[in-house]
Structure 1
Amino acid sequence: MPSFDIVSEIDMHEVTNAVDQAKRDLGNRWDFKNVDADIEQDEKGLTISAPEDFQLEQLMDMLRMAFAKRNIDGRALAEDGESKAGKLVKQHLLLKQGIETDMAKKIVKLIKDAKLKVQASIQGDKVRVTGKKRDDLQTAIALLRETELDVPLQFNNFRD
């Protein structure tokens, strides 16, 4: 039976490239000259820091633009928390990978409510969709692409 997997993954190499691009943009901007602003990457996410809140917003926009240039979905960034440390305001951003159980249940319910001739099952941090015909699977993919979910979805492991 034909099947495919619905996943939510990020290419970490592209994230590193996007962060480097945003840092270069930060160094070139005249409104950030002599300003102690920075973007740091760790294994769990990113930390942006700037002296003022509006500069933090500008850093966030620069980061989103760099992500867009690298074809990384901006919904992969989730704000974790803001803290003020001395003269700097810091914002930690999590990189969302994998489909959480609640979102997976929502995806399965969405497919079942559409009354397509496919079956969806949750398998860890991905959702497997199987059906008798390839056309039914492609209809399910089209349905999920139309739906506005707050996680970036990729469709892989398509088997005939």
Structure 2
Amino acid sequence: MAKDSSFDIVSEVEMQEMDNSVNQAMKEISQRYDFKGSKAQIQLEKDSLKLTAEDDYKINAMLEILKGKMIKRGLSPKCLDSGKIEGASGGTLKQTIEIQKGLSKEKAKEVTSHIKELKLKVQAQIMDDKVRISGSKIDDLQKVIQSLKAKDFGIDLQFTNLR
């Protein structure tokens, strides 16, 4: 009897790469003509980013610069959950952006229901902030991975621990 194979579906963010992306974005912002003399700033906190600038145009431009730097460093912008732009002290505006880590219960249920719709001989098991898929045939597991890559769940999915 063949041993079952399995893999995990996770949604993780490499925080060192996020820090590098923020630093590169701040360097570009400090050198851009349209940001000269402004109070534009991106701060990386534990699980969030804080953008501060004089107007919403600059906040949106900073966010686009940051997303470009993230893509170059191999991070998906899907992990960013933008909040609304609010007023701050000193006539500036701020925006808090949450960095999503792990699969929420709703997303995990959505992933497992999609896997069940494939009607392959695999089992999906929700484990805290990840989903473990197991099955006897590696080909079935690879079909699951291909199907999940093709469907957009609104978050960045990684596939780990294939054995």
TM-score range, shorter chain: over 0.9
**Residues 48-63 of structure 1: pairs in structure 2 closer than 5 A:** 48-63=51-66
Q: Which runs of 4+ in 1 moved over 3 A?
A: none
> 2:5 is matched with which residue: 2, 9, 34?
2
Identity over aligned residues, as a percent?
A: 36
> 1:146 is matched with which residue: 133, 147, 150?
150
TM-score (normalizing by structure 2): 0.96
Matched, 1:95 2:110: no
Q: Distance in 2 between matches of 1:107 and 1:149?
A: 8
Matched, 1:156 2:150: no
Question: 1:67: which partner in 2?
Answer: 70
Q: Distance in 1 between matches of 2:86 and 2:18?
A: 23
CA offset digits 1:35-93 (Å, max 9, x no partner)? 11100111021001110111111011011111111110000000133220131110000
Query: How far apart are 1:117 and its partner, in Å?
Result: 1.3
Gapped regions of structure 1 (runs ≥ 5): none
Alpha-carbon RMSD across the aligned residues, in angstroms, is 0.7
Larger CA deviation: 77-86 vs 124-133: 77-86
Q: Distance in 1 between matches of 2:117 and 2:143?
A: 13
Q: Distance in 2 between matches of 1:41 and 1:10?
A: 13
CA offset digits 1:111-145 (Å, max 9, x no partner)? 00111111101011000000011100000000000
**Residues 8-47 of structure 1: pairs in structure 2 closer than 5 A:** 8-47=11-50
Give the number of aligned pairs: 159
Gapped regions of structure 2 (runs ≥ 5): none
